[in-house]
């Protein structure tokens, strides 16, 4: 019998493989400039650049975190370290970034060195479900579109609770979804392909009306739950425009499994437009 730990290791390998594949490497390098989150558009229209919108999303995160210079903050699923370094540079707090993708941790360390942030940042190759940090260690913890990759949502949130100080703040910028019966047969097929191909294991359980229950069950008090879908939709619209022509060929040849990001650029956008998928911000406190 294969153990739960083995399944978790398999899931983590799928996450690493997703970010290592050529489509992901090229996309995250040249289309999102080492940033792995969508932008925030205050007007709900694409009247600013994507780069500016990405910065505004980080600024919104900082506001929700209520960052202070004395804070020790965990970026759980830090990717290439862009958000970690920005917050350290702008707000002067100490940040630790962790991720399970080795080459992205290497990029993060190099980025911090180039920006002379070695005294404000540390990066470790670690799983956010088993961080190895002491109990009650961080003042603030956040995820930015990465909790979907957790193999076990209960375990990950429980780990956040363990390492967060009493009264500490947890901020999650994540997706939620409708139930399967609300999707068409085609939509269910596409969301299945996207979930499998990008190893978004926990997204299957992040339902609109129950997501916050997971946070509460971990011991947190949920302070707020905001739907900001309309403010990030222009990002998806931009990527939809990039993806729709190549996707027409991919769809014709039934190659969606091999081009996950291009497929998501079209199919995920349609789900967002129908609010079958939403973009949420949860603020919670350890009590």
pLDDT tens for the 287 residues of the chain, in order: 345 557 888 999 999 999 999 999 999 999 999 999 999 999 999 999 999 999 999 999 999 999 999 999 999 999 999 999 999 999 999 999 999 999 999 999 999 999 999 999 999 999 999 999 999 999 999 999 999 999 999 999 999 999 999 999 999 999 999 999 999 999 999 999 999 999 999 999 999 999 999 999 999 999 999 999 999 999 999 999 999 999 999 999 999 999 999 999 999 999 999 999 999 999 999 99
**Number of other residues whose CB lies within 10 A of the CB of residue 108:** 27
Maximum C-alpha span of the chain: 55
Predicted pLDDT of residue 206: 97
Predicted pLDDT of residue 4: 55
Predicted pLDDT of residue 6: 75
CA distance 143 to 171: 7
Given a contact cutoff of 8 angstroms between Cβ atoms, the answer to whether 166 and 138 are in contact is no
- The parent domain of residue 29 ranges over 4-286
Predicted pLDDT of residue 5: 58
CATH number at residue 73: 3.40.50.150
- What is the length of the chain? 287
Question: How far is the first Cα of the chain from the last one, in angstroms, to the nearest whole number?
Answer: 38
- Owner of token pair 């390998």: 13
**Residue 176 φ/ψ region, left for φ over 0, alpha for ψ in the -120 to 50 degree band, beta for the rest:** beta
DSSP state of 29: I
Predicted pLDDT of residue 2: 45
Predicted pLDDT of residue 244: 97
Predicted pLDDT of residue 7: 80
Predicted pLDDT of residue 207: 98
**Number of other residues whose CB lies within 10 A of the CB of residue 15:** 23
Range 162-181 burial, b when 16+ CB lie within 10 A, else e: bbbeeebbbbbbbbbbbeee
CB within 8 Å of 68: residues ≥ 6 apart: 93, 139
For 230, the token pair is 């309309």
> How many domains, the chain?
1
**Cα 178 vs. chain centroid, distance in angstroms?**
18
**Number of other residues whose CB lies within 10 A of the CB of residue 81:** 27
Q: In degrees, to the nearest 5, what angle opens at C-alpha 107 toward C-alphas 103 and 108?
A: 115
Distances (CA, A) of 218 to 4, 73, 128, 164, 215: 20, 19, 15, 12, 5
The model carries a pTM of: 0.96
């Amino acid at each position: 019998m294969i153990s739960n730990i083995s399944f978790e290791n398999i899931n983590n390998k799928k996450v690493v493989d997703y970010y290592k594949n050529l489509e992901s490497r090229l996309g995250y390098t040249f289309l999102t400039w080492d940033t792995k989150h969508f932008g925030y558009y205050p007007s709900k229209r694409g009247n600013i650049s994507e780069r500016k919108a990405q910065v505004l999303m980080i600024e919104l995160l900082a506001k929700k975190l209520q960052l202070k210079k004395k804070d020790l903050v965990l970026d759980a699923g830090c990717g290439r370290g862009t958000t970690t370094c920005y917050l350290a540079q702008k707000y002067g707090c100490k940040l630790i970034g962790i991720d399970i993708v080795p080459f992205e941790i290497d990029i993060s360390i190099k980025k911090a060195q180039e920006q002379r942030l070695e005294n404000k940042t540390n990066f470790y190759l670690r799983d956010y479900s088993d961080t190895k940090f002491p109990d009650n260690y961080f003042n603030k913890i956040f995820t930015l579109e990465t909790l979907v990759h957790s193999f076990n949502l209960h375990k990950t949130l429980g780990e956040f609770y363990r390492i967060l100080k009493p009264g500490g703040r947890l901020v999650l910028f994540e997706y939620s979804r409708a139930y399967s019966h609300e999707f068409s047969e085609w939509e269910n097929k596409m969301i299945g392909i996207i979930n499998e191909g990008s190893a978004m294991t926990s997204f299957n359980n992040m339902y609109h009306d129950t997501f916050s229950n997971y946070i509460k069950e971990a011991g947190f008090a949920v302070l707020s739950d905001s739907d900001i879908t309309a403010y990030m939709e222009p990002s998806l619209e931009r990527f939809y425009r990039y993806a729709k022509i190549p996707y027409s060929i991919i769809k014709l040849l039934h190659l969606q499994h091999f081009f996950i990001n291009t497929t998501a650029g079209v199919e995920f956008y349609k789900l967002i437009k129908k609010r079958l998928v939403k973009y949420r911000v949860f603020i919670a406190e350890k009590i």
